[in-house]
Amino acid sequence: MTEYRSVTVERGQGGFGGPLTITPDSTRNKILYIVGGGMRPDVVDRICELSGAEAVNGFSTSIPDDEVFAAVIDCGGTLRCGLYPKKGIPTINVMPTGKTGPLAQFINETIYVSAVGSVQVRLADETETVFHEFGHALHS
């Protein structure tokens, strides 16, 4: 059985939102990445390494939203920026994009972080808030 660990994701230089502390569990244990060209960003590998989650390329396969604990995107300001926050899925954008696009009203600091690279991801400590149950925060 996989041991899952919480990770904290902070915004990079010029980024918006966060920090997000997220934890996969036995149901929500997939990192969905949807990036141009289908190339897996380094941040996906870093989150998998630290959290125990599994990466899924959203351009080559689909999975139910209730299996996704976080989405990694590379959106400069169109639909994808707000699509996953609207669904309550913590969203990590590798681009330095803030509240923009047709779903901007769903993008906020508690569910979205941008300008993220692998150096912005670390194991969470026990005092940080853990993201759970599609956007409901639990406090340690």
Residue from 85, 101, 99, 73 nearest 135 by CA: 85
Phi first, then psi: what are they for 95, rounded to 5°?
Answer: -90, 155
Among 75, 92, 94, 116, the active-site one is: 75
Active site residue 81: no
Three-state DSSP class for residue 112: strand
Residue 73: count of CB within 10 angstroms of its CB: 26
Output Rg (C-alpha) for the chain, integer angstroms. Answer: 13
Residues carrying an active site annotation: 75
